[in-house]
Structures are given as structure tokens and as C-alpha cells.
Amino acid sequence: MTDSPDGGWRRAVGRAVARGVARVGPWPLAVALVGTASAHSGSLGGAAASATVPTWLTVLTGGVVVGATFLFTTLLTDHDAMRSVNWSRVALPAPALARRALVRGCQLVSVALLGLVFVTGLSGTTTPTRNFALLFVWTGWWAGFTMTTYLVGNTWPAFDPFRAIAGVVRRVLDALLDGSAGTVAPDRTDGGTATVPASPAPRLPEEWGVWPAVAGLLALVYVEVVSPIGSNPRSLALVVAAYGLVTVAGAVVYGRTWFDRVDPVSRVFLTYGRVAPVQRDGDGLSLRIPGTAATEEVLPDRPGETAFVVALLWVTTYDGLVATPLWARLVEPVVGAGVPAVLVHVVVLLAGFALFLGGYRLSSRAVRERAETYVAVDEIERWFAPSLVPIAAGYHVAHFMGYFLTLAPALAAVAASPFAPPATVALVLPGWFGSVKLACVLLGHVLAVWVAHSLAFELFPGVLAAIRSQVPTVVVMVFYTMVSLWVITQPYVPPPFV
Amino acid sequence: MTRNLPDPATDVPPDEEPTAVCAHCERPFRSVHARDLHVGEVHEAEATETERERYERVIETERDDLWLFHARTVVALGVVYSTTVILYMVVLGQFG
Ligand SMILES: [Zn+2]
């Protein structure tokens, strides 16, 4: 599994775990639902006995759990009690001075790591399991770091090496320009993580909103799927360099706006951070119940804000979908008929995104009808969009937790000696781990039902309108749960022709 | 407790006259019921005596409707649970 040369290595390892699910079946889940006590007496390793739960039943059970969660939340109608849960928080000590020092430290570390990624990517070994750049970017960063953004908190602004580099470039340019013009340099003292000053000169058109970030996210995922950056350290280093150049140049020209409205990576982490337990609270930090921060925040009124959250959900699905046997079966005749595979991938990427966005819009219209309200449709879209984030996070953790654990020992071994990497072994996860993944997907949906329920109570007066308004969303969620569970239980097949 | 979220933007179709409007914040509503609830929830401090009485009355209506709704929910949960159990018994029984 470590040496499939054609682009599928990264997923191949991730999916090796998924294969376990299909074989083993999600028996703890099933047993928990049926309520049989033997769930706990049976040893977790002896999962072979449960090969009897067919995939369709697993998928159906997932849908039933989400539907039943909704029915259950309708019994919780005490708005003040809901708020006391959602608004509970513990302030974390975070002195400004310590925070600024910590941010500087993070930036230095991440710029050094970026340098190491370039060096090992361009000149290191091309054996994937021994190459620092590949292991660090995919295992350490895209799997591991991303998980911390929703499980702990969004620390990317502090770590982002490109933001740090752009800040330095900006300051140097300012000094040069100011020096030559003989003017006094403007005051650049901004606290905390903000190393890139607000831009004075060029501005992005306001009507674009965050659509550039939506396009950027789709483009990044497309490159990830069709190019060999998952297994070839040279092309990975080049793609990172290209992304870095664009990001630094954009940030130097447009300032902080770039990270707010264009840079897809910053926005992905910002979006995931909405459900994290550690949140920025005014000047400090606070610890919240996971997911509850999303019940207090409506997306800003800008074009593309809803579309970005929907795009995040879609790309996690797409990433899994293109590695299923069904995809291979459907694509092969199309490519056989002479259509280039890269074209098929881009068409499906865009069409699926349009489908998700259209589905979300339709369900928001239905919410407006069901709640008998005059609240505008795009307001409803933005209001409930944060409830999609736990779903995306649950799906991400299901996809990448096993992958991260499998390769974490290899990453640690190679990180200790990146220039003379030892041979590494992938950790073999036990069979029951597949059930953990299914549980993560379900947990994301259950949290989403709670967030949507809480948001509905904030939007609509009374109890019954709020409950009724949720029915269309829940129908969509049940359907989506089943689709994602199906994708997760599929055996891994490398996307053909890429 | 106070709400932290902003007031939602509303959009009344051009050919429609809102059934009810909030006297305090001019938000339009499709029903008098929803308006009376909104006034009691959001404008508790400024509400007039009449508005308070109306709120008491719609809360009563909500309570009755909710009881019926919850009764149906409990039945639905029971049906879902037993259907799932039976489904698992049938499927697992086939292989067992
Ligand atoms: Zn009002």
C-alpha cells in the first residue's frame, strides 16, 4: 500500500482503513441501537463475527439515527435552558504579551518547517513513506493540523507561514518606499496575530464577497485530486511554492483582505474553527462546549459566505467520492468514449457543487415556507449555514483520523532525521476503528441537528414554528448522512486516469 | 438572557400585505400568532398591558399544540426504534 506510484498513495493509505469497515461492518453501532448488552462483553478485536451487517443497513441506520436525533431534540424546547448550554463558557487566561510572543514563536517554527518542506520536497528521497515533505504536508498538516482546528481551535493565523512572510515583505517594501519618498512610516502596531497591515491602496470589488475563496477551494481540491502531489514530493514542492507565491503576493497587495476573502486555506480553518471548543472572546480566549459557538454566529452578509461553507462540505464528499468503485465504473466508459479524464473531474466537481448549493437553497426556501415567516431566503441560508460545519468536520475526521494515526509514527521518525530518513512502517489499526469513523460521521450530524435546532429558536418566535422549520433541513441531512456513510464504507479504488 | 444574534432581514413579496407587524421594531409577520410571540420574547420590557395579555394567550395556545406535537413525536420515536430493532433481527437472523 505504500508504493502505488500513480497519485493514489495518500488516499490509498487513508482508505486502507476504510476497507476494514466494509469487511468488518459497523457492529458496535448496530448493537448500540438494538440495545443488546453483548456489545460490551464482546472483545473489540473480535469483530469478524459481525460481518453480517450489510452495507445498506449500516447506511440506513445512519439515516435513522439522524432522523431520531431530530425527533429527540424537538422534545427539548426550553429556550432558556438551551441558551444556558450554548452560552456556557470558561475564560482561559491568555495575557496579550505571552500571546504575542507565542505567535512569533509559531511563525518562526512554521517558516522553518516550510523551508524544510521545500528542501526535502525538491531534493529528498522520492519514497513516499520516507519523504518529509509528503509526510509533513499530508499527515502532519492536512490531516493532523486540520483536525486541531475543529477539535481544539483555529490557530492557523498564528502558524500561517505565508502570512508571516507577507508581513515581513510588506514591512520591507514600506520601509523602502517610505525611505525614498521621505515620508514618515505609518504606525504599524497591531496586536496579536495581525502581522499584515490593513491595505491602503488596491481593493477587491465588494460585490465579489468571498467568492474568490470559493473558487480557490474548488481549484485546490481539483489539483489535489488530479495531480500527483499526493505521492510525488517534487510536484508537491512546486504546488506549495506556487500557492505560496500567489498568497504572499496577494497579501502584500491586498493586505488582510486577502486572508479574509481570497485565501481558501485560511477560510477552511476559519470555518472549521467555528465549531471548536476554544474560541476568541473579545480580547481573550474562552473554552466552550464543542459546536455551541456556531449557535451564536450568523455568517456575515457578504456574497459567497454561504457558498463557501457548502463548498467545504462538497469538497470533502468529492474527495471521497472519486475514490469509490462506483466512480471508477461510471468514469471508465466516459473516458473510453474520448472525453479527457481531467475534464470529467472538473465537470463533476462544478456540477456537484452546483447541486449542493441548489439543494441548500431549495431547503432554505422550504424552511421559509414551513416556518410561515417573512425572513428573507438568503438570510435563512446564512443563518443556518454554521450548522453544516459540524457535518464537514465529522466527515473530515472520519476520513483522516485513521490516516493520521497510521502514518504518525512514520512522520515522527522522518521528522527526527529529515535528511537521512529511516525506513518507516505504517501503523496497522484494529478492525473496530472502522466503526469509530462511522461514529464520527454520525456525531457530526447529531451536533449539526442541535446547532440548527438552537439557531431556529433564535430566528423564529415561539416553539412550533422553530421545530417545523427544521423538517426540510433534516430531510436533506438524513439523505446526506446516508451518502457520506456509503462513501466511507466503500473500498478504496484509485481515481482512474489521473 | 439577551440575544447575541442580529435581527434577521425580512422580505415581503410585493403583492402581499403582511398580516401583522411588530409595533416596536416594524418586523412583518405572516400571522398575528407569530407577532404576539415575538413581542413577548423580544420586547418584554417595552410591551404594553394588552400585548402582555396577548402574549399570555398565544403561549397557552403554543403549550397545547406542543403537547399534541410531543405526543406524536414520542409515538414516532417508538415506531422508529421498534422498526429498527425488527429490521436488525430479520437481517441478522438470516445470516445467524
Ligand atoms: Zn419587534
- Is B81 touching A (CB cutoff 8 A)? yes
Query: How much is the ipTM here?
Result: 0.89
| Residue A196 scores a pLDDT above 60 | no
Over residues A46-67, mean pLDDT: 75
Q: What is the pLDDT of residue B96?
A: 53
| Residue A12 scores a pLDDT above 90 | no
Rounded to the nearest whole angstrom, what is the distance from the C-alpha of residue B30 to the centroid of ligand 1?
A: 14
Residues of chain B in contact with residue A458, where contact means CB-CB under 8 angstroms, are: 3, 5
Angstrom distances, CA of residue A191 to CA of A155, A281, A476, B88: 15, 15, 43, 58
- Whether the Cβ atoms of residue A491 and residue A15 lie closer than 8 Å to each other: yes
- Is B25 touching A (CB cutoff 8 A)? no
Distance from CA of B13 to the nearest CA of A (A): 8
Over residues A422-433, mean pLDDT: 84
Q: What is the pLDDT of residue A220?
A: 94
C-alpha cell at A404: 493520521
C-alpha cell at A399: 476520513
What backbone phi and psi angles, to 5 degrees, belong to A141?
A: -90, -60
Residues of chain B in contact with residue A80, where contact means CB-CB under 8 angstroms, are: 1
Angstrom distances, CA of residue B18 to CA of A216, A372, A374, B35, B55: 42, 11, 9, 11, 19
Burial B46-75 (b: 16+ CB within 10 A, else e): ebeeebeebbeebeeebeeebeebeeebee
Q: What is the pLDDT of residue B74?
A: 95
Angstrom distances, CA of residue A284 to CA of A26, A98, B68: 42, 12, 46
A330 vs A9: which has the higher pLDDT: A330
Any domain includes B29: yes
CA dihedral of A69, A74, A80, A86, whole degrees rounded to 10: 20
| Residue A25 scores a pLDDT above 60 | no
Residues 6+ apart with CB under 8 A from A172: none
The average confidence (pLDDT) of chain B is: 89
| Gap between the Cα atoms of B10 and A380, Å rounded | 10
Cβ separation of A464 and B85 shorter than 8 Å?
A: no
| Residue A369 scores a pLDDT above 50 | yes
- Residue-wise DSSP of A61-128: HHHHHHHHHHHHHTT---HHHHHHHHT-EEEEP--HHHHHHHHHHHHHHHHHHHHHHHHHHHHS---G
Residue pLDDT, tens place only, A433-486:
888 888 898 899 999 999 999 999 999 998 999 999 999 989 988 988 898 888
| Gap between the Cα atoms of B22 and A436, Å rounded | 49
Cβ separation of B80 and A67 shorter than 8 Å?
A: yes
Cβ separation of B76 and A373 shorter than 8 Å?
A: no
Model confidence band, residue A45 (pLDDT cutoffs 50, 70, 90): very low
Q: What is the pLDDT of residue A438?
A: 87
C-alpha cell at A374: 417573512
| Residue A248 scores a pLDDT above 90 | yes
Model confidence band, residue A150 (pLDDT cutoffs 50, 70, 90): very high
Question: Number of folded domains in chain B?
Answer: 1
Any domain includes B71: yes
> Which pairing describes strands A278-281 and A284-288: parallel, antiparallel, or unpaired?
antiparallel
Model confidence band, residue A52 (pLDDT cutoffs 50, 70, 90): low
Residues 6+ apart with CB under 8 A from A299: A305, A306, A309, A382, A385, A386
* Percentage of chain A exceeding pLDDT 90: 53
Measured between CA atoms, the residue of chain A closest to residue B21 is A374
Q: What is the pLDDT of residue A320?
A: 87
Q: Which amino acid is at A348?
A: V
Q: Which amino acid is at A405?
A: L
> Which pairing describes strands B20-21 and A278-281: parallel, antiparallel, or unpaired?
unpaired
Indicate the residue of A64, A298, A462 with minimum beta-carbon distance to B5.
A298
Half-sphere CA count of A167, side-chain side, radius 13 A: 23
Q: What is the pLDDT of residue B6?
A: 77
A131-135, A220-224, A319-323, range with the lowest pLDDT: A319-323
A29-43, A51-65, A166-180, A338-352, range with the lowest pLDDT: A29-43
Any domain includes B44: yes
| Residue A254 scores a pLDDT above 80 | yes
C-alpha cell at A359: 439543494
Rounded to the nearest whole angstrom, what is the distance from the C-alpha of residue B3 to the centroid of ligand 1?
A: 13
Domain housing B80:
20-95
| Gap between the Cα atoms of A15 and A222, Å rounded | 19
Any domain includes B3: no
| Residue B3 scores a pLDDT above 90 | no
Indicate the residue of B10, B37, B85 with minimum beta-carbon distance to A34.
B85
| Residue A498 scores a pLDDT above 60 | yes
Q: What is the pLDDT of residue A179?
A: 65
- Is A398 touching B (CB cutoff 8 A)? no
Q: What is the pLDDT of residue A185?
A: 38
Rounded to the nearest whole angstrom, what is the distance from the C-alpha of residue B43 to the centroid of ligand 1?
A: 6
The average confidence (pLDDT) of chain A is: 83
- State the DSSP code for A279: E
Compute how many other C-beta atoms are within 10 angstroms of the C-beta atom of residue A342: 15
| Residue A14 scores a pLDDT above 60 | no
Residue pLDDT, tens place only, A200-237:
567 888 889 999 999 999 999 999 888 888 889 999 99
Residue pLDDT, tens place only, B39-95:
998 898 888 999 999 999 999 999 999 999 999 999 999 999 999 999 998 888 876
Ordered by start, the domain boundaries in chain A are 8-174+199-489
pTM over 0.90: no
Long-range contact set of residues A94-98: C-beta below 8 Å, sequence gap at least 24: A94/A284, A94/A285, A96/A191, A96/A192, A96/A283
| Gap between the Cα atoms of A5 and A24, Å rounded | 28
